[in-house]
Amino acid sequence: MKAHTKETQATMTPEKSLQYLKEGNIRFQNNLKANRNLLEQVNDTSEGQFPFATILSCIDSRVSAELVFDQGLGDIFSIRIAGNFVNEDILGSMEFACKLAGTELIVVLGHTSCGAVKGACDDAKLGNLTNMLAKIKPAVEAIKEPEDIKFRNSKNSEFVDNVATKNVQLTIDRILQESPVLTEMQNKGEIKIIGAMYDINTGAVDFFE
């Protein structure tokens, strides 16, 4: 499989881009890989890059977007931060990726058993981590069940995963609230912004459609 070119990128649509990721994740789940020569892709992308998607994911070592979607060099922009939330710098990166570099799909990818989410659920305190986890707290507060404080912590895996899912949804809301550029592009059908959850037990990605 060749690296994307300006010409192949131009044929992509938000829907086609999403389908590429779905097919890649199915290959990953089945321990298959597209036939790529990565060194050849290094050469092919040396003078330019033409990715078709931008993926915001967690720094978790088990959730590498290139691997779980079976993509090669030059295929996707990968933004990673613990808890897959957005800030001004990440929004600017997304605007560059879509408006200037031509990607037509943004995926906010959360995952099960997320350590950052667990930290937010437990109200963990540690240096700069304290302020970072505060970005995830709105998702914790938005999940009303269970009400008993004894079960609203990292030991309750269902609660943690519900918070992680809500965090993805709130991140998308924030993208649309704080980036007029991306909101306008989505309203025009030029891009699609979608959430997804990766299951660390199965390798499967569930897209929110």
Enumerate the known binding-site residues.
Answer: 58, 60, 111, 114
Positions at the binding site for Zn(2+)? 58, 60, 111, 114
* Strand duo 205-207 + 76-80: pairing: unpaired
Contacts of 181 (CB under 8 A, 6+ apart): 95, 98, 99
- Give the Cα separation of 152 and 17 in Å (integer): 37
Query: What strands, in cross-sheet order, belong to the sheet with 53-57?
Result: 76-80, 53-57, 105-111, 192-198, 205-207
Which residue is listed with tokens 């993926």? 55
